[in-house]
Structure 1
């Protein structure tokens, strides 16, 4: 046995074997504390703008008013369960129009796919509610406890009156934000000013208080404590996104060809002075320190990375200080990384078959939904032929069929409809239970209601034996002239 081999064996014998028994081996890795450092730059400004706009819309939109006329709610965005209505400014969605909700969900998925095809997890980095509220909670944390170094020192220090005061204030503000979040959510389901007054005077329903409590708890836990673990372990999108991306999607990327070999600023300067290869990365770890999920982007694209771009800001700031070009960490595609390795010029392919397909589907589905929304009716009519008997021969030889009609008024005010029939030669129409028997009977239908009437269609014209003629009923709004029709058959013996 050679000397190196003997030495290696001696080391192996001296080192105790790890105990990998099922009782002692950890099933999950222990969570490491992450202390994101504040950073300034383009992407941080974009995130602040998105945060302010999105949270401003969420918290204050319930108080925006929209005049819909008398007897109609004037809240711009309202989910009115008792009235079975969803109001969004001038749009009004009815329960039977759930396909609009399905269409919106399909559009949301396609938009998410398009965003992923263009710029990876841009939704996660800027628009996801978990990201937005976590950013807000971390801003409060920095305001009270300081930046990264101060928070690390405070957490490692023993408990003092000052530390307890800071922790208490931070968690109190977190709970206040979480409570406001839950309170804003329930305002979308009732008139906001009225519900605020009822909540303040403890006159609101138990459902409202329970909903606020649940949302307060979840917001406080997810945004204040779990943070990056929600993105890493709970959210399914990182797994789905990985299957949908391609080599042309832009992702936050470390340019290996430019950054390696990395080293300290002095070492890099010495290597350059000696004419040896040296990268621009000085191993300062600023990209890791600012990352909200603790990712080292220099190790490549990872599941934990939410593509927020804060590491780009941090790296650009360092490059400015050491007088090197910006963009060591940037949004780049896998195809361009390979092109750079081959010495070829990078090419951006935002418009390609995948993005064209997604955009076409979004436009097609959106256009179809818009067309159906514009052309939908606010009245309806349904006709059901009597089954027994299907026809009656009167004493004067006339033939009569009976029908049940259901008139639908989707407006929030009374409407009067004139009823008529066509398709049967010499037919006359009688509405059972009305004084007049003409085809112009005025039928009143209440707001957001249906009315069922029984009608008789009679003809003295001779019809062929066993004839089945198509018959059409029409209701016409006497005020606006808008009409709805329903078809059935007139049956002869």
Structure 2
């Protein structure tokens, strides 16, 4: 420390230093190779599913919606091909969230941030926006040169074209989202003729703006500062997970091609890295993978393609950058063989949990009842003594007919001795066993009165079981409540 510098001067110097590193615009360069082709294929698949799935039809019978995937808020239903879920079955969505979490954990244990690099919506749409940018304004060098120079008419035209295409993609992204909540062909027609609900236009505007801003402008900033997964992933990973890795045991010490030739002629050790910076030029987040594992690396593999291209040109082995782990780097330095452990305790546990969740959900789905019954006991009064001395309890029965047709059901009770049941507003030909018609795909509520002779020896509360039976199909549902003696 310089003795002539006072503590106050040191504090003043620290105050002048910025808290964060200034943002530098990233200009990813076009690259071709194995991982780039994989990303193109997955992008086409993901976007194709997202944009086209609302138009897929699925026949569910007369009167039922024929859209394969539909979130029907007005009728409180969720349709997914042959599956129809009711609000009471929200636990299936809980299971899907748990399944998604364990799948994400397994992907991380096997190949790092595979989700971030290939499937994340932010990555997919940003990649698409980058493709549009390269098509309109040119590759990395052209864009850097254009940004450094003055605004010209040609540049303004190209930039305007780019933003128009971006807005069109963003608009259709928002439009496709609302199609999942209504019949897609009908809603498209209503939107085009300005007859759609105002809420549809509002959500399209919100999603258009968010897609345009996040994929067109925020880009890598979303991955670096907004997304929580990189922080979570760092805590979940282990030393055996395969991540995009610069194999410094092979690449160091790095130097240019010309210098490498001179050093090799002198017998000096030279690495395969020629310090061309192509791995940095193609990175969508602008990091240098040679600096080691970093928060900004989304494991997309584009740096692998860039490096392999250079290695092929200079006649050196490919995969100087590849999916690897630091354990193998150290083993190669020690002259040992590489070891890969995709099957280990962590991956086995995740796979087992995924299998358990899938099995439970599949069993629940295959054995789910399409006839449900819920019972609510009257609270005030809980029980009524009639003029003949008998006791009457009132209940509200809610029936759920999840089938696509009407059904006739019979109501039975098991409870107090000699108890009789009466359904208010329904005259049944069999008073001891009332029968009613449940409309298809609806919820029906009925008031039911249960009357039993007063018994001094009886318990104050007696369990009473309501059981409904589909006369045609034999399907049974039941619910238990209590019969109260005052």
Please give the TM-score of this superposition, normalised by the length of structure 1: 0.90
Shift of residue 18 of structure 1? 11
Counterpart position of 2:102: 110
Alpha-carbon separation, structure 1, partners of 2:323 and 2:351: 22
1:449 pairs, out of 443, 453, 456, with 443
Q: Establish whether residue 485 from structure 1 lines up as the match of residue 478 from structure 2.
A: yes
1:254 pairs, out of 243, 246, 259, with 246
Deviations 1:364-386 (A, max 9, x none): 12221222222222222233456
Q: Establish whether residue 128 from structure 1 lines up as the match of residue 116 from structure 2.
A: no
Q: Secondary structure at the match of 1:20?
A: helix
Change (3 A) 1:299 1:401: same
Q: Gaps spanning 5+ residues in structure 2: where?
A: none
Contact 1:379 1:407 in 2 (8 A): no
Alignment of 1:19-98 (within 5 A): 20=13, 22=15, 24-98=16-90
Change (3 A) 1:36 1:435: closer
Counterpart position of 2:369: 377
Q: Secondary structure at the match of 2:445?
A: strand
Shift of residue 392 of structure 1? 4.7
Alpha-carbon separation, structure 1, partners of 2:125 and 2:156: 24
Q: How many residues align?
A: 476
Deviations 1:352-401 (A, max 9, x none): 11111111111112221222222222222233456657475775x8x554
Contact 2:373 2:397 in 1 (8 A): yes
Contact 1:469 1:489 in 2 (8 A): yes
Q: Establish whether residue 439 from structure 1 lines up as the match of residue 426 from structure 2.
A: no
Counterpart position of 2:230: 238
Contact 1:64 1:75 in 2 (8 A): yes
Shift of residue 193 of structure 1? 0.9
Alpha-carbon separation, structure 2, partners of 1:490 and 1:205: 49
1:330 pairs, out of 312, 318, 322, with 322
Alpha-carbon separation, structure 1, partners of 2:236 and 2:382: 60
1:228 pairs, out of 217, 220, 225, with 220
Alpha-carbon separation, structure 1, partners of 2:273 and 2:314: 10
Shift of residue 71 of structure 1? 2.0
Change (3 A) 1:393 1:80: closer
Alignment of 1:59-458 (within 5 A): 59-385=51-377, 388=381, 390=383, 392=385, 395=388, 401-411=392-402, 413-436=405-428, 437-446=430-439, 447-458=441-452
Alpha-carbon separation, structure 2, partners of 1:218 and 1:300: 32
Contact 2:240 2:340 in 1 (8 A): yes
Deviations 1:93-125 (A, max 9, x none): 211222222221121111111111111111111
Q: Secondary structure at the match of 1:292?
A: coil
Contact 1:474 1:483 in 2 (8 A): yes
Worse-superposed segment, 45-54 or 145-154 = 145-154
Alpha-carbon separation, structure 1, partners of 2:427 and 2:443: 23
Cα RMSD for the two superposed structures: 2.6
Contact 1:429 1:458 in 2 (8 A): no
Change (3 A) 1:25 1:370: same
Counterpart position of 1:5: none
Alpha-carbon separation, structure 2, partners of 1:134 and 1:385: 56
Contact 1:421 1:439 in 2 (8 A): no
Worse-superposed segment, 262-271 or 419-428 = 419-428
Alpha-carbon separation, structure 1, partners of 2:172 and 2:41: 20
Q: Secondary structure at the match of 2:373?
A: strand
Q: Gaps spanning 5+ residues in structure 1: where?
A: 1-7
Worse-superposed segment, 295-304 or 379-388 = 379-388
Counterpart position of 1:4: none
Alpha-carbon separation, structure 2, partners of 1:433 and 1:176: 57
Shift of residue 79 of structure 1? 1.1
Alpha-carbon separation, structure 2, partners of 1:21 and 1:275: 46
Alpha-carbon separation, structure 2, partners of 1:450 and 1:431: 13
Q: Secondary structure at the match of 1:351?
A: coil
Shift of residue 414 of structure 1? 3.3
Deviations 1:176-210 (A, max 9, x none): 11111111111111111111111111111221111
Deviations 1:24-52 (A, max 9, x none): 54343222121111111110011001100
Counterpart position of 1:476: 469
Contact 2:371 2:400 in 1 (8 A): yes
Q: Secondary structure at the match of 2:18?
A: coil
Worse-superposed segment, 124-133 or 449-458 = 449-458
Change (3 A) 1:312 1:18: farther
